[in-house]
């Protein structure tokens, strides 16, 4: 009789058990000829429920909300609230599709593993390497600007020195084990959450007590309709902002990676995913509604973050310092979670035979240290590229990161189709955590993602991503063919 930390002893795909107690055997699922880590080393289920909840929460909150919200507000005006609601529904359904598989098979590698098992070896290769490169580019961007946040307080400190220190520090955190990673990510996320809650509380107090801002207008929710209406730029403005909204959710799928090391994945993963929609309502829609009620949308000029502007408008002079600290924590959070997920993704790819077997090596703490160190080393190269060729890096490399997110979400939905087809109607009826709406919901998501890509072609900032996307997919597919041919010759 298995205890509550065990899962099905045989998965619906007929595989041997991957999980036992609070450890994960490294040989499970590995292709023939691949030698995993010593039997004394295991990935460990040390991520507690509070870690999972805050990781999910932190994944939905990034610098895009603190700094990028001006761009979306300028496009849509108050209607951005509706756009975030639609975008939140889309990403929620993506997460439910991923959660359906993660709860049934809570393994490291998540969507790459599922694509490999239920779609094809090629799909597992493309999904895994796409996600790995995606987070390399995202981590590169965050690490390259972290020095600017430090220079806000210490102008003489070189940005490269700050980037190097943060890289070494976060790498050390990840090497110490998944529990250490979880603790740091918990506090990074808590800082972001506290900042948003503080802003919301202050905004409500300003509105409730009718404190007049320096601009002369009393804060009021009427500002949401009194400055050109709820759709001041028409429906087209709200639709155009959909691109910015969707990209602000990038990274939220990290929760799928954590399933392989969650203490009680069948409880924590569903709870975290179901809470995503409420977090979006509170932290995105709620905070932006408060901001536009205190500072009318057409007076949010972009010269400072809207979060700073709302504090500054009521005389809180140190608001910029607060936000600088918050975005510094957000940047470190992104790199911390990126390095964590990249190490696990390389481990999963090695299990599939889609990456060198050396990535199966684990430390005594249960960390795939080779994958972590290699990902960290590649990030160093990426940061150097940013410093030497900033225009190239941000115009092209980050375009891959942008389109890679849509590729990843699309593959999650298609993989869920394959998963359901494989287990059949009887298997679907027994799933503990099902995607609501089934095939209809999946089709809706794919249509919305396709619309997002079309909209990207109409905006100069994102147009290059649409061009790079097919090229990037061709590179990944070519990489798989080369890997396959080399393996056959060997």
DSSP H helix total and E strand total for the chain:
21, 3
pLDDT digits (tens, 9 = 90+) for 122-163: 999 999 999 998 888 777 777 777 877 888 888 888 878 888
Calculate mean pLDDT across residues 450-464. 88
Confidence of residue 2 (pLDDT cuts 50, 70, 90): very low
pLDDT of residue 392: 62
Q: pLDDT for 333-342, tens place per residue?
A: 888 888 888 9
Cα gap 340→338, rounded to integer Å: 5
Sheet holding 43-44, edge to edge: 19-20, 23-24, 43-44
As a whole number of angstroms, the distance between CA 408 and CA 115 comes to: 11
pLDDT in tens, 303-312: 666 777 777 6
**How many CA atoms, within 13 angstroms, populate the side-chain half-sphere of residue 469?**
19
pLDDT of 100 strictly over 70: yes
Window from 12-26, 282-296, 405-419, 467-481 with minimum mean pLDDT: 12-26
Q: What domains does the chain contain, in order, with CATH numbers?
A: 49-484 (1.20.1740.10)
**Is the pTM above the cut of 0.85?**
no
- Identify the pLDDT of residue 442: 94
pLDDT of amino acid 31: 40
How confident is the model over 425-454, as a mean pLDDT?
A: 91
* Overall average pLDDT of the 364-375 stretch: 90
What average pLDDT score do residues 360-383 get? 87
Q: What is the DSSP letter of 281?
A: I
The b-or-e profile of 436-475 (16+ CB within 10 A means b, else e) is eeeeebbeebbebbeebbebbeeeeebebbbebbeebeee
The pLDDT value given to residue 142: 75
Q: Cα angle at 261 between 257 and 267, to 5 degrees?
A: 90
Residue that wins the pLDDT comparison between 208 and 424:
424
Taking residues 320-326, what's their average pLDDT? 81
Mean pLDDT on 198-204:
83
Q: What is the structure's pLDDT at 212?
A: 62
458 pLDDT above the threshold of 80:
yes
pLDDT mean over 177-205: 85
Confidence grade of residue 67 (pLDDT, cut at 50, 70, 90): low
Q: What pLDDT is recorded for position 391?
A: 64
381 pLDDT above the threshold of 90: no
Task: Identify the pLDDT of residue 83.
Answer: 94
């Amino acid at each position: 009789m298995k205890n509550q930390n065990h899962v099905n002893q045989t998965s619906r795909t007929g595989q041997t058990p991957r999980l036992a107690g609070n450890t994960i055997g490294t040989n499970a699922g590995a292709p023939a000829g691949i030698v995993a880590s010593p039997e004394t080393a295991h990935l460990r289920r040390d991520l507690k429920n509070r870690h999972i909840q805050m990781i999910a929460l932190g994944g939905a909150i990034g610098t895009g909300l603190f700094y990028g919200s001006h761009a979306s507000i300028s496009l849509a005006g108050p209607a951005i609230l509706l756009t975030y609601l639609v975008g939140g529904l889309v990403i929620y359904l993506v997460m439910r599709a991923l959660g359906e598989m993660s709860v049934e098979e809570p393994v490291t590698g998540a969507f790459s593993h599922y694509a490999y098992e239920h779609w094809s070896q090629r799909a597992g290769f493309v999904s895994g390497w796409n996600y790995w490169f995606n987070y390399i580019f995202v981590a590169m961007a965050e690490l390259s600007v972290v020095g600017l946040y430090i220079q806000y307080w210490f102008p003489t400190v070189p940005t490269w020195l700050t980037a190097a220190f943060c890289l070494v520090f976060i790498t050390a955190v990840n090497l110490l084990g998944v529990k250490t990673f979880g603790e740091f990510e918990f506090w990074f996320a808590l800082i972001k959450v506290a900042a948003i809650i503080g802003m919301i509380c202050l905004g409500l107090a300003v509105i409730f007590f009718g404190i007049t801002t320096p601009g002369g207008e009393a804060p009021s929710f009427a500002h949401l309709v009194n400055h050109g209406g709820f759709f001041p730029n028409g429906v087209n403005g709200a639709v155009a902002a959909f691109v910015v909204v969707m990209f602000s959710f990038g990274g939220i799928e990290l929760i799928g990676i954590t399933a392989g090391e969650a203490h009680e994945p069948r409880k924590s993963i569903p709870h975290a995913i179901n809470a995503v929609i409420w977090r979006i309502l509170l932290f995105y829609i709620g905070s932006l509604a408060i901001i536009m009620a205190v500072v009318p949308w057409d007076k949010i000029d972009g010269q400072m973050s809207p979060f700073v502007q709302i504090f500054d408008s009521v005389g809180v002079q140190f608001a910029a310092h607060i936000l600088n600290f918050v975005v510094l924590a957000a940047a470190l959070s992104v790199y911390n979670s990126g390095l964590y997920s990249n190490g696990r993704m390389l481990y999963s790819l090695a299990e599939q035979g889609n990456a060198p077997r050396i990535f199966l090596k684990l430390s005594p703490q249960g960390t795939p240290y080779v994958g972590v160190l290699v990902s960290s080393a590649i990030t160093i190269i990426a940061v150097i590229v940013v410093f030497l060729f900033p225009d190239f890096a941000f115009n092209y490399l980050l375009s891959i990161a942008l389109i890679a997110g849509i590729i990843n979400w699309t593959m999650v939905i298609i993989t869920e189709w394959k998963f359901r087809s494989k287990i059949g109607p009887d298997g679907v009826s027994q799933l503990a955590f099902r995607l609501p709406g089934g095939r209809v919901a999946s089709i809706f998501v794919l249509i919305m993602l396709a619309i997002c890509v079309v909209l990207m072609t109409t905006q100069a900032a994102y147009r290059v991503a649409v061009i790079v996307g097919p090229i990037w997919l061709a590179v990944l597919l070519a990489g798989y063919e080369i890997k396959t041919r080399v393996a056959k010759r060997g």
